[in-house]
Amino acid sequence: MPLLLSERLGVTMHTVGYFIMYLGGVGVIVRSLLLGRMVKALGEARLARLGVVLLAAGLALVSFVHSYAVLWVALTLMPLGTAFIFPCITGLLSRVVTSRDRGLYLSVQQSFGGISRVVFPAGAGLLMDSFGRAVPFWVSGVLVLGTLGLMGLLETYGRQGSG
């Protein structure tokens, strides 16, 4: 993101930290003040799906950033989405997987998360070098949106019960 922001908005290495700090700050505020209320209001499955839509929209929107207004919207949607997705998915998994296998599945979930934090930035760099700085963001948005179907399966399996 710093390369795209530098190219389009003139963000420098001296100012990019403010944008990253905003991303983190929104995530902390949402998780500490809003997440519990949202889970109670919507339930984990619906909130996770809403999170997917928000995260996908924020990622895709970054690829269209040419003004600070659009950037702030994108940088607000992304941490909202992640704050709604990940705790809810962990909660759903802890209920739909048998108690005997729960640790294994939660560990696999975390392992895939860790692997993706290594593999996807490398892939994003390749996309950026080959097709432009905005491409990894809309590709990521499409990939994240593609997980909505999997979330429906998790909710259906959860209703059947397994624990």
CATH of the domain at 123: 1.20.1250.20
What tokens appear for 38 in the block? Answer: 């949202």
What is the band of 163 on the pLDDT scale with cuts at 50, 70, 90?
Answer: very low
What is the band of 97 on the pLDDT scale with cuts at 50, 70, 90?
Answer: confident
pLDDT digits (tens, 9 = 90+) for 58-70: 999 999 999 999 9
Percent of the chain at pLDDT above 90? 66
Look at residue 90 in the predicted model and tell me its pLDDT.
87
Count: domains in the chain = 1
Asked if residue 163 belongs to a domain, the reply is no
Distance of alpha carbon 52 from alpha carbon 147, whole angstroms: 8
What tokens appear for 130 in the block? Answer: 């080959």
Q: If 0-12 CB within 10 Å is exposed, 13-18 middle and 19+ buried, where does residue 159 land?
A: exposed
Asked if residue 16 belongs to a domain, the reply is yes
Report, as an integer, the average pLDDT of 101-126.
Answer: 89
Distance of alpha carbon 159 from alpha carbon 146, whole angstroms: 22
Asked if residue 130 belongs to a domain, the reply is yes
Q: Supply the range of the domain harboring residue 36.
A: 2-158
Q: Is the pTM of this model over 0.85?
A: yes
Asked if residue 100 belongs to a domain, the reply is yes
